Structure 1
Amino acid sequence: MTIYLIDDDSLGNYLTETLLRLENVGGEICTYESAEEALHALLRRPEPPRLIFLDLNMPVMSGWDFLDALEPHQPRLLGRCRIYILTSSLALADMERARSYELVSGLIHKPLDREEIRAIQAELSI
């Protein structure tokens, strides 16, 4: 299983990756500090990542821009790739907007914790 962590905060990526490893979420964990770089990597892969943890507020390409760029690829990704938005925002508008994307499985307030990882593992049966 491949997991993408997309966040311009390198410390946040490190902490999330460490927690995923402590919770025995197996597989390859790829971290990206640029949504644009992650998008290019995802589109080059024959198999999409099983999980993506996506920050919303990033320079150049935001998490929203990333989700919009995935729209044409949605048939290839649906049912094979789950995206969880990781955000520090408590804005109701962000929650509502996240629900409008079929590829988004949930919105998680930073920082990601053990219970949320376990819930995702149970959902995916991993």
Structure 2
Amino acid sequence: MLKRAFIIDDDEISLFLTEAILEEENIAKEYQSYQYAQDALNDIIEGLEVEKIPDIIFLDLNMPLMSGWSFLNRLLPYENQLEEKCSIYILTSSVDIEEEEKAKGYRLVKGFLHKPLEESSVQEIKQHYR
């Protein structure tokens, strides 16, 4: 079981549903939800200093203020510090193949999932961490 999971999504219903399925599948001990990517980014950067970063992040792409893409770009300077400790899974309602290809260009992104998050997807992720 992972220690910490972050969910970043501006939609409250998506946040609720994603956290509920993750808890049901018992993927992590602790969950932190964010409606604003900047808040999650701040916590990750601060967490680097005290070794308190999420093991896994579920990231929406289309959000106001800071999109998922901007979030990923802002993490680029920290990739080396995060790479072995944190995995990001894009969780989006988008079906744009170009976005899925673009996501492969980020070392921290380990998967591209479609909303709503499904049990089978969470089980596959859990298998990866066993």
Matched, 1:101 2:103: no
Residue identity matched to 2:90: I
- What displacement does 1:25 show? 1.9
- What displacement does 1:26 show? 3.0
- What displacement does 1:104 show? 0.3
Matched, 1:22 2:24: yes
- Residue 27 of structure 1: SS of its match in structure 2? strand
Equivalent position to 1:66, from 64, 68, 71: 71
Residue identity matched to 1:25: I
Residue identity matched to 1:38: A
Distance in 1, matches of 2:8 and 2:42, equals 12
CA RMSD of aligned residues (A): 0.7
Q: TM-score, normalised by structure 1?
A: 0.96
Residue identity matched to 2:18: T
For the 8 Å contact 2:72–2:106, the answer to whether it is kept is: yes
Residue identity matched to 1:67: L
Matched, 1:55 2:55: no
- Residue 65 of structure 2: SS of its match in structure 1? coil
Distance in 1, matches of 2:111 and 2:26, equals 21
Equivalent position to 1:123, from 107, 125, 128: 128
- Residue 5 of structure 1: SS of its match in structure 2? strand
Identity of aligned residues (%): 42
Residue identity matched to 1:85: I
| 4+ runs deviating over 2 angstroms | none
- Residue 31 of structure 1: SS of its match in structure 2? strand
Residue identity matched to 1:41: D
Residue in 2 that maps onto 1:3: 5
> Deviations along 1:4-60, whole A, 9 cap, x unmatched?
000001111111111111112231100000000110011111232000000000001
Q: Number of residue pairs matched?
A: 125
Equivalent position to 1:112, from 112, 117, 130: 117
Residue in 2 that maps onto 1:36: 38
